[in-house]
Chains A and B, each alone.
Chain A
Amino acid sequence: MKANSFFDAWNGFFFAEQSPTPLALFRIAYGMAVIATLFLLHADWIAWYGPNAWVRLSTIRTMEPGPRLNLFTIIPQSDSWVRILFWVFLISAVCLACGLFTRVNSIIVFACLASIQQRNLLILHGGDTFLRVTGFFLMFAPAGAALSVDRLIRIWRGEEGAEIQPRRPWAQRMIQFELALLYFAGFCSKIEGGSWVQGTALYYVYHLDELQRFPIPPWFFRPAILRLATWFALVFEFSMGVLIWIKELRYPLLALGVLFHLSLEYSLNIPMFQWDVLAAYILFVDPVDLTRFWNRIRTRANRHLGQRVNVIYDGASERRLRTANMLRAIDIFGQLSFADLRDSRAPFDATRQDAQDELLVATNSGLRRGREGLCAIAGVVPLLWPLAILLRIQQLWAPRIAASSKAG
C-alpha cells in the first residue's frame, strides 16, 4: 500500500502532464540571464578567455585536470576564434529566449556556458553555477512547447493546434530540485560556521568594501537587527530548501524569496546572482494560477489596447485555419476574436467565397482584407506592433517612392 502510494506520488510528481507555460517563461528568463551575463563579460571577454588571458588554458588544465566539456580545447587558440565563440553563444542565447530551434539552442547554450566556466573557474559565483546546472536539465525539457517561435512553426505546419499541449514535467522538476538544493545546501554549510549561528555573519558581509552597492540605513547595523537578519537568512534558506515543497507554504515563501533577493540585489554587488536564482521561481507557480494571473492582467490590458478585432476565416481551408491558429497563439492579450465561416452563428456578412483566399478582418468601417486587414490586426496585438510600425512606415513612404520613380 505504501509502496503503491509512493509509486503514484513519484509518477504524479514527475510524469503527470501539465502546461509547459511556466517552463517556457523560465526559458525566456534563463535566456535573458545568459544574455545579460554575456553582455557584462563582453569588455573583458579576451582578457578572461583569450589565448593570453589572465590565466592560460594550460594552467587551468594543470590546476583542474581531467576531461571536461570545454570548447576552448577544440577551437584554435586565437582571439578571433574566441570572439566567434562569444557571438555564437550570444546568438544561440537569443534564439533560446525566443524559442527558435529551442532544443538545439539549449544544447549550444549549455555547451558554451559550460565551456566558458570550465575555461576560467576562478571568477564564478553561485549564479553562474546555477545557470550551468539548470542549463543541463533545460536541454531535456520541452522548453519550446509554449511561448516560442518553434510553436508558431509547428502551428504553421499543421502539427499543432491553437491550444498549448500539456507535457511531462520531469526535467522541470529537476530544475526545481536544484533550486531547493541551492538553499538547503547553503543552509547546511552556514550552520557549520560559528558566525551564522552566533548571528554576526552579516556584520562581516556588509563591511566587505568590495561587495557594497547602494547605501544601507544605519539602523540596519544595530547588533540586534544584524543578528535577526543573520538568523532570518538561515531560517529562510532552510524553508526554501524544505518547506517550499508544501503547497500551502509555497507562495508566501516565494514572495518572501523575491523580497530577500531584491534586498540583496540592492545591498550587495554580486551581478546577476539574484536574477539567475529568481528566474527559477516561476517553475514553482502552478500553471492554473499562472493562467488566472495572466487573465487578470489581460483584462486590465484590454482596457488600454483598444477595440477588439474580429477575424473571419474559412475553417474548411487548412491554410486559413493554420493562419488563424497562429494568430491565436500570438494574440496573448486576447484582442482578436475568431469566427469560422462554417459556423452558422458567425455574425458577419461574408461568404466563403470572400474568405477563400485570405483572412477577413471585420472592423467598424467594414470588412478588410490583405494588407489593410493585417494592419488592423497588427495594431491591436502587442507582439505584432513592430510589424504595425513597419507597415505604417511603408504606407507613408510608398507614395513618395512611387512619385520619385515617376519623376525619374
Chain B
Amino acid sequence: MSKAPHSDKVKSSQQYFPGMKNWKYIAINIFLIFHILAISTWCLPMTNPFVQVCRFAVRPYFVWTGLFQSWDMFSPQPETTNAYLEAIVLYQDGSTKIWSFPRMDLLSLNERYHKERYRKFVEVLLDGKNSVLWPDVARHVARLPGIRDGDPQKILLLARWSTIVYQDDGTFTRSPLDENVFYRYDVKPGDLQ
C-alpha cells in the first residue's frame, strides 16, 4: 500500500529524464535549489536576520566565483548632482596644469561610448568611502604622457559639482558649480619610473 505512491512518483519523474543517473539528478537539484535560494537572498533587499545569516554564509563562494550581484541602477535614488573630477598638477618650476577626466558631455557620441567607464570611475572616486583609491589615481595622473615629462611634484584632486534642482513645471535648473580639493598627493621619485 505504502509503496504505490512512491513508485508512481518515480515513474512520473523518469519520464522527464530517461537514462539520467540518480546521483546526477540529485546533484543538479541540489545545485539548482542552492543557487536559487542563495542568489535570491543575496540580491533582494531584505533585512531580516535569517537573510543576513544566509548572505554571510554564501559570501566566500559568491565572492570567489563572481556570483555576487546587485541590481540597483538609479535606485533607491538616482544621482542628483552632476559631478566632475579634475587634477591640478604642480610642477617643479612652479607652473601648474589642469588635467580633466574624460567628461562624457564634452565628448563625441563615439568617444563617449568608448570612454563611459571613466564616468563610472569618477562616480566611485568622488565617494569618500573609496578614499583608499585616491593615491593610486593621483600617481597615475602623474605618470600620464605630457605630465610625467614635466617633473610633477604635487597632484591635487579637485571635485566640481552642481545639484539638479527639481522644478514642478518640468524646467531644468542647476545650482551654481561648487568645487573642492579633496586630496593632495606628493609625487615620489619612484612613481614616475
Query: Quick one: which of B12, B28, B66 has the most chain A CB within 10 A?
Result: B66
Contact A54 B132 (CB under 8 A): no
Q: Count residues of A near B (Cβ-Cβ below 8 Å).
A: 83
- Quote the shortest CB–CB distance from B133 to chain A (angstroms): 6
User: Which single residue of chain B is at the shortest CB-CB distance from A220?
Assistant: B170
Query: Across the interface, do B172 and A207 meet the contact criterion of CB distance under 8 Å?
Result: yes
A residues less than 8 Å from B63 (CB atoms): 64, 66-68
Contact yes or no, B82 A209, CB < 8 A = yes
CA distance A207 to B137 in the complex (A): 28
B residues near A201, Cβ cutoff 8 Å = 74, 77-78
If A16-B16, A133-B67 touch, whether A193 touches B82 (CB-CB below 8 Å) is no
Which of A7, A43, A66, A211 lies in contact with B60, CB distance below 8 A?
Answer: A66
CA distance A117 to B109 in the complex (A): 25
> How many Å from the CB of B148 to the closest CB on chain A?
11
Most buried by A among B70, B76, B78: B78
Comparing B88-96, B111-119, B149-157, the segment that makes contact with chain A is: B111-119
Chain B, 149-168, contact with A by CB distance < 8 Å: what is the 0/1 string? Answer: 00000000000000010101
Q: Restricting to B127-148, which residues have a CB under 8 Å from any CB of A?
A: 130, 132-133, 135-137, 140, 143
Q: Judging by beta carbons under 8 Å apart, are B124 and A122 in contact? A: yes
A16 contacts across to B, CB distance below 8 A: 16
Which of B38-46, B49-57, B178-186 is near enough to bind chain A?
A: B38-46
Most buried by B among A123, A124, A271: A123
Within 8 A of B (CB), among A160-175: 168, 170, 173-174
A44–B117 CB distance below 8 A: yes
Chain B interface main SS type: helix
Q: Which of A177-185, A327-335, A373-381 contacts B (4 or more CB under 8 A)?
A: A177-185
**Residue A235, interface by CB 8 Å:** no
Q: A52-B140, A122-B124 are in contact. Are A271 and B116 (CB under 8 A)?
A: yes
Query: Residue B32 at the A interface, CB < 8 A?
Result: yes
Decide if B97 is an interface residue (CB 8 Å cutoff): no
Question: Is B76 in contact with A8, judged by CB distance below 8 angstroms?
Answer: no
Across the interface, do B121 and A122 meet the contact criterion of CB distance under 8 Å?
yes
* Interchain CB contact (< 8 A) of A11 among B17, B76, B137, B174: B17
**Which residues of chain B are near A185, meaning CB under 8 Å?**
43-45, 70-72
**A170 and B74 contacting across the interface, CB-CB below 8 Å:** no
Compute how far the CA of A204 lies from the CA of B66 in the bound complex, rounded to whole angstroms: 31
Q: Is the CB of B132 within 8 A of A59?
A: yes
Contact of B133 with A123 in the complex, beta carbons under 8 Å: no
How many Å lie between the Cα of A123 and that of B115 in the bound state? 11
A:9-48 near B, CB below 8 Å: 11-12, 14-17, 40-41, 43-44, 47-48
> Could you say which residues of chain B place their CB within 8 Å of the CB of A15?
16-17, 20, 25
Q: Does B22 contact A (CB under 8 A)?
A: no
Chain B residue with minimal CB distance to A269? B112
Do A66 and B64 touch across chains, with their CB atoms under 8 A apart?
Answer: yes
- Do the beta carbons of A188 and B45 come within 8 Å of each other? yes
Residue of A nearest to B115 (CB): A44
When C-beta atoms are compared, the residue in chain B nearest to A55 turns out to be B136
A129 beta carbon closer than 8 Å to chain B? yes
Given contacts A170-B28, A186-B73, A204-B80, contact A226 B39 (CB under 8 A): no
Question: In the bound complex, do residue B133 and residue A59 qualify as a contact, i.e. CB atoms below 8 Å apart?
Answer: yes
Complex Cα gap A324–B76 (Å): 58
Q: Which residue of A lies closest to B116 (CB)?
A: A271
B166, A200: Cβ atoms under 8 Å? Answer: yes
Contact A117 to B78, CB < 8 A, known contacts A181-B40, A181-B71: no
Which residue of chain B is the closest to A121 with respect to CB atoms?
Answer: B124
Residue of B whose beta carbon sits closest to that of A115: B66
A395 to B39, CA, bound (A): 58
Interface string of B21-42 (1 = CB under 8 A from A): 0000100110010011001100
Please report which residues of chain A, range 261-276, place their CB below 8 angstroms from some CB of chain B when the two chains form the complex. 269-271
- Taken together as a complex, chains A and B put the C-alpha atoms of A285 and B166 apart, in Å, by 41
The residue on B at minimum CB distance from A40 is: B114
Question: Taking the complex as formed, is A367 at the interface, i.e. its CB lies under 8 A from any CB of chain B?
Answer: no
CA distance A123 to B82 in the complex (A): 18
A196 to B73, alpha carbons, bound, how many Å? 12
Q: Is the CB of A181 within 8 A of B43?
A: yes
**Residue A125 lies at the interface, judged by CB distance under 8 Å to chain B:** yes
Residues of B within 8 A of A68 (CB): 63-64, 66
**For residue A219, which residue of chain B has the nearest CB?**
B170
A interface vs B, CB < 8 Å? 4, 7-8, 11-12, 14-17, 40-41, 43-44, 47-48, 52-56, 59, 62-64, 66-69, 110, 113-114, 117-118, 122-126, 129, 132-133, 136, 168, 170, 173-174, 177-178, 181-186, 188-190, 192-196, 200-205, 207-214, 221-223, 226, 269-271
Closest 4 CB pairs of A and B: A193-B76, A114-B66, A185-B71, A210-B104
B-side residues, CB < 8 A to A, are 5, 8-9, 12-13, 16-17, 20, 25, 28-29, 32, 35-36, 39-40, 43-45, 60, 63-67, 69-80, 82, 103-105, 109, 112-121, 124-125, 130, 132-133, 135-137, 140, 143, 164, 166, 168-172, 174
- Would you mind naming 13 contact pairs between A and B with Cβ atoms under 8 Å apart? A7-B9, A53-B140, A55-B133, A118-B66, A132-B69, A174-B32, A174-B35, A186-B72, A188-B44, A189-B72, A203-B170, A223-B170, A269-B113
